Each structure stands twice: as C-alpha cells, then as structure tokens.
Amino acid sequence: MHRFFLPLACIQNEIVFFPTEIAHQLKRVLHLREGQVVIVLDNQGMEYEVKLVSSQAHIAQGQILTRRVAQDEPTVRLAFYLCLSQREKFEWMLQKCTEMGVSAFTPVISSRSLVQEPDEVRKKYPRWQKIIQEAAEQSGRGRLPVLYPPLSLEQAVLESRQNHRSAFLLWEGERTLSLHQALTGIFPGQNQLALLVGPEGGFSETEANLAVNAGLLSVSLGRRILRMETAALVASALVLYETGEMNP
C-alpha cells in the first residue's frame, strides 16, 4: 500500500488534507481513485489508514479509517556521520541507509571531502530531504531520518562521542577490532549508536587519530577493500542485524 509522510497540520480529527504535490501524485502518477486506501504517517510515530474521499489534480482529501503506532521502525537509533563525497555516491548512501533503518544523517566535511564549503552543502538539503523521504516511504519506515546541518570532522568527532553511548569509526586502517567484536556486549540494552564513515580515499592518519583519541572505537569490516558507499550500507545492515532488527 502506498505510504506518505504528511505534516501534522494536514491531519485534523478524522480528515486528512493532502498537500498539492501529493494530490497530484495520487491522481496523475498513481491513478488512485476515491474509495482507495493509502497509509499516512505523521512522523511522530503514528500511522493511519486513509480512504480517499476526494481526489483532484491539485487537492485531495481522505478519511481516517484506523490509527496505530507505526510498526516497522527500528528501536535502535543509529546516527550516521557521513563524510561528503561524490554526489551520486552520497545520495545513494542516503537512500540505501534510510531503507536499512538509519535514524539520522550528518554530512561531514573532512580533509579529503570533495565539497569543502558548508554553504554549498546546505543548498543540496531540499534534494537530499526528498531522497530520504521517498526511501522512507518506499521501505515502510515509521519515522523520517533526520538530516542535520553539516559539521567539520572535528565537530563531528566531538558530537558523535558526546551524544551517543557508543561511537564507532569505520576505518580501513584498523587491523585488530572487527565491528562484530565491537558490537558484542553492547546489545541488548544500548540503543544510541553513532557511526563515522570516511570519504573516498578514507580518513587521513591524523583524522583517524583525532577520532580515536576522542574516544571513538575504530572498527574494521574485514580484509577486502570496500568502497565508501558499500562500507556504509554494510555497516548499517550489520548493526541492525546484531540488534535483531532484521528479523521478520
């Protein structure tokens, strides 16, 4: 069933008012008619079965049939700090890691990031927000991952450590600790994790040391060399797997 995140203001008592853009999509793209049912999410943790009562090109209304707590949202909160990289790869990571169940993204400017200007990064937020929302709707998420403002690597290191019980650095230079070992003993019980992922070309030695000295745990994904975007997706999958979030 088609799913849509809507602003809270669109959901009033038993009635849902679909914004113009979604009304257009319902009518012109999905060819849905009056009487058909969609899922509406309020991004506060509730989901609604909504029957379309009027559907026109620019305006649509629905009637709420049922309401329930959104089912399929992970309980573990996994925050990603992603160093900026080539556009397609970065967008691909936002999409795939949203599908997997990551709860927050913070773009990070490191020494080897292709983009170095925060203002340039902020211009891309509307597009990135849209990619995240579409992936969240398509994959059945109950909440939208949050997209935070860009940080420098130094800021990201401090923040990831301060705001999470466990913070990991994905580092191809790590020769001892596997992600598996790092996760062992953390679960169950702990559900606030941060993961810092380097750009293409990796972290510099200085950056990796900075992170480790600040208390991030440097972890390996094995001996084969994964591209940045593969490593990010795989790491998110492994964390969610270890927490049982990939059980049916």
Residues that bind a second copy (CB under 8 A): 71-72, 96, 99-101, 138-141, 174-181, 220-227, 230, 233-234, 237-238, 240-241, 244-248
Tokens 């008012």 -> residue: 17
Least distance between a second copy and beta carbon 184 (Å)? 12
Nearer Cβ to a second copy, position 156 or 233? Answer: 233
d(CA 217, CA 238) in angstroms, rounded, equals 16
Nearer Cβ to a second copy, position 151 or 221? Answer: 221
The count of other CB atoms within 10 Å of the CB of residue 72 is 11
Least distance between a second copy and beta carbon 139 (Å)? 5
Least distance between a second copy and beta carbon 237 (Å)? 4
CA torsion, points 129, 109, 199, 82, in degrees to nearest 10? -40
Instruction: Check if the beta carbon of residue 182 is closer than 8 Å to that of residue 217.
Output: yes
Least distance between a second copy and beta carbon 80 (Å)? 16
Nearer Cβ to a second copy, position 121 or 239? Answer: 239
Cα atoms in the Cβ-side hemisphere of radius 13 Å centred on 74: 31
Task: Retrieve residue 165's tokens.
Answer: 């019980």
Nearer Cβ to a second copy, position 162 or 184? Answer: 184
